[in-house]
Amino acid sequence: MSETNPHIGSSLDEFLKEDGLFDEVNAVAIKRSIAFQIEREMRQQRITKSEMARRMKTSASQLSRLLDPENDRVQLDTLVKAASAVGRSLIVELT
């Protein structure tokens, strides 16, 4: 006799889709991942925040917002500038 666990349900993705949260959660995760990668590149290259802001031609507060994992309101062009400032490219693709 095979019993199923009533506590095991669908995947997290399916759960988030059912609740209408998948796109929002996915966007936040992508932004946090990119910000983490930019900050890691800054550390590896020993780029200070003031130098990074200068390279991006932006303010230190704008850079802080970009690197803030709680701030999910970052424009694509800002991410492109940040990637370029650390010698990287940002690739966005549909899958």
Quick check: is 90 in a domain? Answer: no
Task: Confirm whether 59 is domain-assigned.
Answer: yes
Residue 61 to residue 41: CA distance in whole angstroms: 19
Residue 61's φ and ψ, nearest 5 degrees, are -70, -35
What range defines the domain where residue 33 resides?
12-85
Would you say 56 and 85 are in contact if contact means Cβ atoms under 8 Å apart?
yes
What's the pTM value of the predicted model, to 2 decimals? 0.78
Q: What is the pLDDT of residue 69?
A: 87
Q: Domain containing 44 — which CATH number?
A: 1.10.260
* pLDDT at residue number 8: 67
The answer to whether position 24 is within a domain reads: yes
Contact 52, 42 (CB under 8 A): yes
Asked whether residue 91 is domain-assigned, the answer is no
Q: Indicate whether 65 belongs to any domain.
A: yes
User: If you average pLDDT over residues 71-91, what whole number do you get?
Assistant: 95
Section 75-79 average pLDDT:
94
Domain total of the chain: 1
